[in-house]
Chain A
Amino acid sequence: MIEIKNLHANIEGKEILKGLTLNVKAGEVHAIMGPNGAGKSTLASILAGREEYEITAGEITFDGADLLELSTEERAREGLFLAFQYPVEIPGVSNVNFLRTALNEIREAKGQDPISAKEFMALVREKSKIVELDSKLASRSVNEGFSGGEKKRNEIFQMAMLNPKLAVLDETDSGLDIDALRIVAKGVNSLKSPKNASIVITHYQRLLDHIVPDFVHVLYDGRIVKTGGKELALELEDKGYDWIKEELQVS
């Protein structure tokens, strides 16, 4: 689904990613863990196409296409979804209007007709259940006045609505209490299929109790330095990141 090869990236002249390589296939869930400042959110931003980052080397192929050649909205239309760590508020724009616009733009790009109002509302009802989102939130302005948990649930709701091929969850668990965490995870799990994939970026292991990854990668100093199964996450939770640093120094 997505292949990242030897990715190097700078922001304001500072190198953050230093040769990152990652391969995600359809049907897989990959977790990326790592200490603060390792480059986790940078990776998410680059995948979504934030312009502040300068790619100095490497390539990313998304479903056979050169991802870096695509604009942010083109990537979204191709099926790449980013659940933001800090979802932004857009006053005066209702969630429904926002999603309908997004959905129709994506459909238009695929040469499909716009969704009818009836179908759309049915979809909203169906998908908002997945994340137990109060239907009132759907008519409120995008993220405005939402609690932290509501914002994150809204991200997953949008993900359900847009049905992406690849979902990148950037620290979706941060700031969530245990109930909200469970709801968010349930949402993500229910969207899992053999045709799509997700990359779960997280600092803590606790999300991975609920979203079971096929692979766990440790991102450290701009590179994937260790890859394992879900047990690696537990080991990290237990021992922290220092042993990995030591291992690296030894080798």
Chain B
Amino acid sequence: MAQYTENELAKDLEDQDYKFGFVTDVETETIRQGLDEGIIRLISTKKEEPEWLLKYRLTAFAAWQKMTEPEWAHVRYKKPDFQKITYFAAPKQSKKYESWDDVDPEMKETMAKLGISLEEQKKLTGVAVDFVMDSVSVATSFKSKLKELGIIFCSFSEAVQDYPELVQEHMGTIVPHTDNFYAALNAAVFTDGSFCYIPKGVRCPMELSTYFRINAEGTGQFERTLVVADEGAYVSYLEGCTAPQRDENQLHAAVVELKALKDAEIKYSTVQNWYPGDKNGVGGIFNFVTKRGLCETNAKISWTQVETGSAVTWKYPSCILKGDHSVGEFYSVAVTNNYQQADTGTKMIHLGKNTKSTIISKGISAGNSQNSYRGLVQIHKKAHKARNFSQCDSLLMTDHCGAHTFPYIECKNPSAQIEHEATTSKIGEDQLFYCKQRGISEEKAISLIVNGYCKEVLNQLPMEFAVEAQKLLAISLEGSVG
């Protein structure tokens, strides 16, 4: 993080608007709008899926039809019309990419604009990237190198074709298709995503990264990510998201499942920067995501998220601490500005003995936005000596915004220790004045103070992401003090 200079920040600040708001002009193959069994069969056929997966989709669809949209979150929005969404939009491709050279130049340019030039990444940073545009995985780098270690990192569709047993064994075991409205919808219509398997005892030598991009108009993005770390394995996984600037609300309903087997560790970091809508709250992504991980004995799952985008966010990356001595962590920064709404937090379900969880959440509300932390810490009867520590802080930048904290704490074991603390306050006037007296402008002072306030969380991110996240925080809060 130290490499990032304030000067770079200054340059970034000049570009205040949503800089990922461009549209890539590639030919897209889409199917008709709407949702019915026919569409699901069509998606399945297009993806040449095995029979069991089609069945899974249809069962999920049947379950979804009986469900209603959840309304308990502290967000208000116009419910999407599920018949007006195109559930399959893929950049048209004549053949599958065998190598990087095959990738459409237009697509390469898009990736470059997003700062994820795969070519450069190949040379420099050693991050393996899977790029998902409009629900279809476009390119995965470093595949062969990873393969030598037995690590599988590919698009979900490829995994279905090449490793059907692995997919079938784990998919839907952590987030069942009946879990909730959006998880069910995803299970029915998901088009792609990423799959990752780290074999026993292997420490993945590089960060694995998926970059999600919604490009086509009128589409929704429904991707699934499944990460399995076998016994004693370790992986750090990054996820980035952007979308073009559009007046309509596009739906993103993803499912992420993590499985950390005995002694394994998964670190999952997200920098979510979907298009948040304009200053008046028009357009933007509805980000309704189900993320959950399961820890077996002595395993650890750590979620880190920096949420600056989306018009509406509904997201609770969770940990089921099933195995004894397992550890769950949740580090979150959520920034809302203008008319953004975020209802985000985590669930820590303590089932095993000596399980431990830590929750650090920093919410920053600006403009007319609403920002809520919602979290559940549940200690089951047999979770002897379970420990939880939660710290949820909210910072308010204007008097039009809201900051809310809704923690649920449920304890059924007398040896458990649970601590929850939360504070809500305004950005410090004295701190601002102090900075200004040293010659620092208000905008930059805010960026400094907010970054300091979020330090605990940002420190959890891998270096490349931390820099990006710092920039994002500054950009998201441009002109936010009222």
Contact = CB atoms under 8 A, between A and B. Distances in A.
Interface in B424-448: 428, 430-431, 433-442, 444, 448
A101 B449 CA distance: 12
Given A102-B438, A106-B439, 5 more contacts: A82-B437, A88-B431, A89-B431, A102-B435, A105-B440
B312 interface: no
Contacts of B453: 91-92
B113 to A, nearest CB: 26
Contacts of A81: 437
A50 B452 contact: no
Contacts of B435: 90, 98, 102
What are the 10 tightest A-B residue pairs by CB atom distance, in nearest-first order? Answer: A92-B452, A92-B455, A93-B452, A76-B439, A102-B438, A72-B436, A106-B439, A73-B436, A88-B430, A88-B434
Interface string B178-195: 000000000000000000
Most buried by B among A72, A76, A91, A142: A72
B439 A50 contact: no
A93 B447 CA distance: 10
A104 interface: yes
Given A73-B442, A100-B6, A101-B6, A91 B436 contact: no
A198 to B, nearest CB: 16
B441 A93 contact: no
Contacts of B439: 73, 76-77, 102-103, 105-106, 109, 162
Nearest to B457: A92
Interface string B1-31: 0000111001000000000000000000000
A71 interface: yes
A141 B434 CA distance: 14
A84 interface: yes
Interface in A107-135: 108-109, 114, 117
B448 A93 contact: yes
B451 interface: yes
Nearest to A48: B437
A90 B434 contact: yes
Contacts, number: 88
Given A72-B433, A76-B436, A101-B440, A114 B455 contact: no
Interface of A: 48-50, 71-73, 75-77, 81-82, 84, 87-93, 97-106, 108-109, 114, 117, 141-142, 158, 162
A164 B318 CA distance: 52
B217 interface: no
A50 B433 contact: yes
Interface in B249-292: none
Contact of B438 (A50, A97, A162): A162
B456 interface: yes
A26 to B, nearest CB: 20
Most buried by B among A81, A89, A90, A114: A90
A90 B434 CA distance: 9
B160 interface: no
B434 A105 contact: no
B454 interface: yes
Contact of A73 (B5, B7, B441): B441
Contacts of B436: 49, 71-73, 76
Contacts of A82: 437
Given A91-B453, A92-B454, A101 B448 contact: yes
A50 B434 CA distance: 10
Given A72-B433, A109-B439, A104 B452 contact: no
B75 to A, nearest CB: 29
A91 B452 CA distance: 6
A105 B436 CA distance: 10
Nearest to A89: B431
Contacts of B5: 114, 117
30 contacts: A72-B433, A72-B436, A73-B436, A73-B442, A76-B437, A76-B439, A87-B434, A88-B428, A88-B430, A88-B433, A89-B431, A90-B428, A90-B431, A90-B434, A90-B452, A92-B451, A92-B453, A92-B454, A92-B455, A93-B448, A98-B438, A98-B448, A100-B6, A101-B440, A101-B444, A101-B448, A102-B438, A103-B439, A117-B5, A141-B452
Nearest to A72: B436
B431 A104 contact: no
B342 to A, nearest CB: 21
A88 B448 CA distance: 14
A14 to B, nearest CB: 20
